[in-house]
Chain A
Amino acid sequence: MTTLFTILFDGVAYGMLLFVLACGLAVTLGLMNFVNLAHGAFAMTGGYICAVLVNNSGWPFFAALPLAFVSAAAIGVALERTLYRHLYTRSHLDQVLFTIGLTFMSVAAVDYIMGSSRIFIKLPAALEGQFDFFGVGIGRYRLMIIVICGLLTVALQLILSKTRFGSRLRAAVDDPRAASGLGINVPQVFAFTFAFGCGLAGLGGALSAEILGLDPYFPLKFMIYFLIVVTVGGSSSITGPFLASLLLGIGDVAGKYYVPKMGPFVIYTIMIVILIWRPNGLFGRAAAR
Chain B
Amino acid sequence: MLALAPAHAQETVKIGLILPMTGGQASTGKQIDNAVKLYMQQNGDTVAGKKIEVILKDDAAVPDNTKRLAQELIVNDKVNFIAGFGVTPAALAAAPLATQAKVPEIVMAAGTSIITERSPYIVRTSFTLAQSSTIIGDWAAKNGIKKVATLTSDYAPGNDALNFFKQNFTAGGGEIVEEVKVPLQNPDFAPFLQRMKDAKPDAVFVFVPAGQGGGFMKQYAERGLDKAGIRVIGPGDVMDDDLLNGMGDAALGTVTAHMYSAAHPSAANKEFVAAYKKAFGQRPGFMAVGGYDGIRLIYEALKKTGGKTDGDALVAAMKGMKWESPRGPIMIDPETRDIVQNIYIRKVEKVDGELYNVEFATFEAVKDSGKTKK
Binding site for B on A (CB under 8 A): 3, 6-7, 10, 14, 111, 115-118, 120, 128-130, 137, 139, 141, 210-213, 215, 217, 221-222, 252-257, 260-261, 263-264
Contact indicator B192/A129 (Cβ below 8 Å):
no
Q: Determine the distance from Cα of A261 to Cα of B222 in the docked complex, in whole angstroms.
A: 24
Q: Determine the distance from Cα of A83 to Cα of B198 in the docked complex, in whole angstroms.
A: 51
Contact indicator B211/A263 (Cβ below 8 Å):
no
Given contacts A3-B198, A10-B194, A263-B182, contact A118 B211 (CB under 8 A): yes
Contact indicator B187/A10 (Cβ below 8 Å):
no
Q: A116-B27, A139-B190, A252-B191 are in contact. List 4 more A-B contacts (CB 8 A).
A: A10-B190, A116-B23, A141-B222, A260-B181
- The contact of B195 among A129, A217, A260, by CB within 8 Å, is A260
Which of B122-130, B212-220, B328-336 interfaces with chain A? Answer: B212-220
Q: Determine the distance from Cα of A260 to Cα of B221 in the docked complex, in whole angstroms.
A: 21
Contact indicator A254/B24 (Cβ below 8 Å):
no
> Residues of A contacting B317 with CB < 8 Å?
none
> Residues of A contacting B221 with CB < 8 Å?
128-129
- The contact of B214 among A14, A120, A129, by CB within 8 Å, is A120
Residue-wise, chain B 24-47 has the 8 Å CB interface mask toward A (1 for contact) of 101100000000000000000000
Given contacts A111-B22, A116-B22, A116-B23, contact A253 B224 (CB under 8 A): no
> Quick one: which of B23, B24, B185, B188 has the most chain A CB within 10 A?
B188
Given contacts A3-B198, A120-B246, contact A256 B191 (CB under 8 A): yes
Q: Report B181-233 residues with CB < 8 Å from chain A CB.
A: 181-183, 185, 187-188, 190-192, 194-195, 198, 211-212, 214-215, 218, 221-224
Q: Determine the distance from Cα of A115 to Cα of B183 in the docked complex, in whole angstroms.
A: 24
Contact indicator B222/A139 (Cβ below 8 Å):
yes
> Residues of B contacting A256 with CB < 8 Å?
191-192
Contact indicator A118/B190 (Cβ below 8 Å):
no
Q: Determine the distance from Cα of A268 to Cα of B23 in the docked complex, in whole angstroms.
A: 26
Given contacts A130-B224, A264-B183, contact A257 B27 (CB under 8 A): no
Binding site for A on B (CB under 8 A): 22-24, 26-27, 180-183, 185, 187-188, 190-192, 194-195, 198, 211-212, 214-215, 218, 221-224, 246
Cβ of A211 to closest chain B Cβ, rounded Å = 6
Cβ of B162 to closest chain A Cβ, rounded Å = 14
Given contacts A116-B23, A129-B222, A130-B224, contact A221 B185 (CB under 8 A): yes
> Residues of B contacting A215 with CB < 8 Å?
24
Contact indicator A139/B194 (Cβ below 8 Å):
no
> Residues of B contacting A120 with CB < 8 Å?
214-215, 218, 246
Contact indicator A253/B190 (Cβ below 8 Å):
yes
> Residues of B contacting A117 with CB < 8 Å?
26-27, 211
Cβ of B210 to closest chain A Cβ, rounded Å = 10
> Residues of A contacting B27 with CB < 8 Å?
116-117
- The contact of B24 among A130, A212, A217, A253, by CB within 8 Å, is A217
> Residues of B contacting A118 with CB < 8 Å?
211-212, 214-215
Contact indicator A6/B211 (Cβ below 8 Å):
no
When A and B form their complex, which 10 residue pairs have the shortest distance between CB atoms, in order from nearest? A256-B191, A116-B26, A257-B191, A212-B187, A253-B191, A260-B180, A130-B224, A264-B183, A10-B190, A117-B27
Q: Determine the distance from Cα of A253 to Cα of B195 in the docked complex, in whole angstroms.
A: 11
> Can you list 6 A-B contacts with CB-CB less than 8 angstroms, sorted by A residue number?
A111-B23, A111-B26, A117-B26, A222-B187, A256-B192, A260-B180
